[in-house]
Chain A
Amino acid sequence: MPGELYKSAAIVGAAEANEIGFLEEPVTSLQLHIEAIKNLSEQTGVPISKIEGVFSAGWSTELAEHLGIKPKYIDTTSVGGCSFEMHVHHAMAAIHAGIIDIALVSHGENGHSARRVGAGGAGNYARGAGALSPALEMTMAYGLGGAPSNYAHAMTRHMHRYGTRREDYAHIAKVTRDWATLNPRAAMYSKEKHPFGGPITVGQVEESRLITWPLTILHCCMVTDHGGAVLVTSPEVAASLRTKPVWIAGAGESMGHGNMLEMDDFTATSASRSAEAAYAMAGLGPADMEMAMIYDSFTITVAITAEMLGLTAPGEGHTLWKDGHAAPGGKLPINTNGGGLSFNHSGMYGMPLLVEAYRQLSGTAEDGIHGVEGKQTSARTCVVNGTGGSLSTTGTLVLVADD
């Protein structure tokens, strides 16, 4: 039996900024937001002035001000890359409660451009940490840098527990790149687009430069520019639009910890709980999922998450890629845009997951507003999972195509 919120709202459109990836001309995060919102409005036909709720990872008042709108629901949940899946959850609840009918979820992040024009940028363990947080006080001395420096500890423990080898996870990077070669919008689409683009082999993943053992650089996501937005509406509004709805059948969120120091089990995340809630609301289970969009900050992230979502048994997450199931033409396509590993990853990757899931389930993966050829699947159901922080927070959605 589905839960009360089952299909009480739909995603009715998904769009991106005009140009994304490693942009030659620096852009600001705000510009990436606004371009995506404008494209979303043009795609759906919903005027920006009709937006009633604004959901973003910290930007909502600035966006509403910039757009000249006066929202009656404002949510700035900012807990890393899963924020956007949580925004959809929150928007659905606000719509179900009758507070709003039209919700904007927006993302803009100049992860690449920030190096030249400033703004944005993630927290740094080595600098700026102070006595306000005892967790940082007790970890800042120990030489951790960016995300890979911490995530690698989970990979070591996962390999130890399940007897896997790093090469097992390298298949994830290889297969995800195969998807990117079907997507001209992907940063690593081809050698012409990027010197390191185009197909890669498992051997190349293994032999690439070490960032934090056991992670080589091809086990890691990129840092690029991205803007994206989706529109969430009530069923009544959805029925009036020219775009196809993709129904939110289930949603859930949870967290394990903030600082990785507090991660009880380095081989598990809260996705097991957020997925349990999402599946329960949908009245569906992992066996009903025909594709998946899973945050792949690192190969280990998506391997563990696949296990938490029930798509495989614990310790066997990598087999979905190694055995070809997650690959183009496989029985369970995963990360059909090319993922954070090879499509685009600006720092918080939750929005591209939503955009691609919408496109796949609305049949516009090849002719969306920035459409491309070759990656449209026949999937009618999709589980979406964002992960934030250091394997800290998770948001899970179960999306289904319109009948």
Chain B
Amino acid sequence: MAYNKPIPTQGVHTRPFWEGARKGKLMLPRCQDCNRVHWYPRHICPTCHSMNLEWIEASGEGTVHTFAVQHLTFGPWAEEAPYVTAYIDLKEGDRMLTVLRGADAGKPEEIQIGAPVKVEFEQANEETFIPFWRLVEE
């Protein structure tokens, strides 16, 4: 079935991220001066303000920082409600937003902050593969 959810409009300086996603790789920007990874992709390091940035291939591992269960939303996502959204602490540092996969939206009490997650990619159109995070089964 064709992907019917909102598809990100790709920027210019974020191209390495989307190129990586097409190959199943999670690419993250890192500052070559202070070595910190940041997310979302910047034109300048938000920590030390160096413009000497590079892209690295990340582990694709992280943990749940916090989450919520969406019951009332709009557009195509509304058809999936309820579903879990979460902010993910990346192993390399900083944080991503995701729709959390492998979580039971009917039992939020059982979702653990700090639970390990792994990234996976879903093809949305010819050039866009969107990263989503899934709970790692024990």
Contact = CB atoms under 8 A, between A and B. Distances in A.
Contacts of A215: 68
Contacts of B42: 134
Interface string B77-91: 100101101110000
Contact of A143 (B5, B11, B95, B113): B5
B66 A156 contact: yes
A212 B77 contact: no
B68 A137 contact: no
B67 interface: yes
A138 B108 CA distance: 25
A50 interface: no
B74 A135 contact: no
A68 B39 CA distance: 47
Given A134-B14, A213-B108, A261-B95, A154 B6 contact: no
A398 B65 CA distance: 35
A129 interface: yes
Contact of A153 (B11, B85, B96): B85
B66 A126 contact: no
Contacts of A130: 9
Which of A135, A142, A148: most chain B Cβ within 10 A?
A: A142
A142 B68 CA distance: 12
A138 B40 contact: yes
Interface residues on B, range: 35 or more
A211 interface: yes
Nearest to B42: A134
A115 interface: no
Contacts of B56: none
Interface string A134-150: 11011111111110111
Nearest to B100: A142
Contacts of B73: 126, 143-145, 149
A243 B15 CA distance: 60
Given A153-B66, A157-B113, A141 B72 contact: no
A153 B10 contact: no
A1 interface: no
B113 A156 contact: yes
A141 B39 contact: no
A160 interface: yes
Contacts of A141: 5-8, 124, 130
B14 A143 contact: no
A134 B85 contact: no
Given A141-B130, A157-B65, A212-B71, A131 B9 contact: yes
Given A131-B10, A132-B11, A215-B68, 18 more contacts: A126-B77, A129-B6, A129-B8, A129-B9, A138-B8, A138-B96, A141-B124, A142-B85, A148-B72, A149-B73, A153-B67, A160-B66, A210-B72, A212-B71, A212-B72, A260-B87, A261-B39, A261-B97
**4 A-B pairs with the lowest CB-CB distances in the bound complex, closest first:** A152-B68, A213-B69, A131-B11, A157-B66
Interface of B: 5-14, 39-42, 65-75, 77, 80, 82-83, 85-87, 95-99, 108, 113, 124, 130
